[in-house]
A and B are shown apart, each in its own frame.
Chain A
């Protein structure tokens, strides 16, 4: 079955750009049919949807983060990535990658998730 694994720096300085990669195994990211999604969870808090990419190029972001977020895909590596610019301490969180089936006749929620990676924003 499909597995997702986040990777990237665990520490980012304020005002810099957070960059994370999600490697997908057990399925092709280029086959279409899924929203490849990023979610975050602030320490001890609830979950926040960041955005997704699908069809290798269509993107949709949370309005609250849209000005700072870029999600991209590298089909040759079966990976998708998150970039979040101008970070502050408020961006400290566990970042998860996940997938959800693309809506056709019906819509479905996020079904497979990575284990998450903690990113701390601190000087």
Chain B
């Protein structure tokens, strides 16, 4: 199984600041089939990024993804109040498909 590790566990920032979230895979994620999801309390995850760097429909351009192989990054250029949430990376390259443990972005 591909194990995904996310860091940091919690990121405390202020609105307007830049957020950089990391996702590291235990083995190479083929074809960069790596996605990022945002989850708010009591809600289902929302797809932000797929293919490591492609924004999903309707996602603001302050969200960007990068990386390949085993190291991936989600960047939120300027945090808006609605961006404080938990973010998960997810690999859909190799079964069983797996998720990272999440990074919580909270208000400093």
Contact = CB atoms under 8 A, between A and B. Distances in A.
A and B interact = yes
Interface of A: 45-49, 60, 62-64, 96, 98, 100, 106-111, 113-116
Interface of B: 31, 33, 35, 43-47, 50-51, 56, 88, 90, 92-93, 95-102
Nearest to A60: B95
Given A46-B102, A115-B43, A115-B44, A107 B33 contact: yes
Nearest to A61: B96
Contacts of A114: 44
Given A63-B96, A109-B50, A109-B92, A47 B33 contact: no
Contact of A48 (B43, B51, B56, B99): B99
Contacts of B97: 49
A46 B101 CA distance: 5
A46 B92 contact: no
Tell me the dominant secondary structure on chain A's binding face: loop
Tell me the dominant secondary structure on chain B's binding face: loop
21 contacts: A46-B88, A46-B99, A46-B101, A46-B102, A47-B45, A47-B88, A48-B99, A49-B96, A49-B97, A96-B44, A100-B92, A106-B31, A106-B51, A108-B50, A108-B51, A110-B90, A111-B47, A113-B46, A114-B44, A115-B43, A116-B44
Contact of A110 (B43, B47, B96, B100): B47
B34 to A, nearest CB: 9
Contacts of B31: 106-107
B27 to A, nearest CB: 16
Contacts of A109: 33, 35, 47, 50, 90, 92
A64 B44 contact: no
Nearest to A37: B97
Nearest to A52: B97
B8 to A, nearest CB: 15
Given A110-B45, A116-B44, 19 more contacts: A46-B88, A46-B99, A47-B45, A49-B97, A60-B95, A62-B96, A98-B44, A100-B92, A106-B31, A108-B50, A108-B92, A109-B35, A110-B35, A110-B47, A111-B56, A113-B45, A114-B44, A115-B43, A115-B44
